[in-house]
Structure 1
Amino acid sequence: MITLPPLNLTQKELEALHIGLAAIGVSESEDLAGAARALSDKIDAVLPEDVGTPVGKFGFATYPFAEAAQGFRHMPAFRKAIRARQKLRLRLEGDAQSHTVRPLHLDYWGRIWTCVVWDETDEAFATFRMDRVTDLTPLPGLFVDEVGKTLKDFHALQS
């Protein structure tokens, strides 16, 4: 259990939190969706009535988050693989070939999650949308940093 000190949020910060919870709340990852619903309920319980929110619960917004929700389907496996440094075999929508990758980093771009990987199949860095992953298999064994295949190397190439 984590206890936070009291927070003061601006209306924009509250809106950003609301949108983030909405995106996660419709995901196919039940553990994350359940956590988003529980957090939303906790916020609703302490939110003052004079902050300009609509009458009723803080709840979930109805924004077009289908792509983000689709991207959450494999999010637990990606997060675990990044932390453990575990290779993955994946296939992307429209690509007949599967790829063995080293997942390096996840980014959220306002409705779309992307992942930066070192693609061992193509021997290159790749960035792809998480909602385009159709199949995913964690592979046994872990990877270690190799020169030219790290997130730092990826960022150096982007500069």
Structure 2
Amino acid sequence: MSHVPSAPRPDFQTATDRPVPTRIFTGWPKSHVILVAILLLALSGCASGPKLAVEPVSQRTFAPVSQVQTLTEAPSTPYTVIAKIHAEASAGTSPAQVVSALLVKAGALGANAVILHDESRTLPPQIQYSPSGGNYQNLPAQTIPIYEGIAIHAQRLPH
């Protein structure tokens, strides 16, 4: 006697022991589904953000700070060095995005200022061959944003 499989149920993709639902997010309001999609897109954009390396210097801890001032040199008032922070991103990333990530990290460590040094490098223009089109393409010079910051907690900062 041969066994004939029954037709799959319309609400499932397969007729296995563990059926797989064909509809996801059933019962969710459309606005929630759209919000989840937007959040996933936003998070995927953050995946290639600036890379940060933190080297703690002080054993002292400070409460997190939401606003961190950037300085080009050490202040004349007393301060405590909290950490050294290296921030770097791929060519084409906005320098402001890299500096912002560095300042957020410094603030989380309790720094109210960062002595910031721009160590960005510029790649020369290049000529790239496109095998699919059989032609060459001129690529402009690109900057790799690299910043070194010394996260500090100062008693008073210059205005």
Q: Same fold (TM over 0.5)?
A: no
Point out the structure with the larger helix share: 1
Structure showing greater relative contact order (alpha-carbon pairs closer than 8 Å, 6 or more residues apart): 2
What TM-score, normalized by structure 2, do the two folds share? 0.29
TM-score by length of 1: 0.29
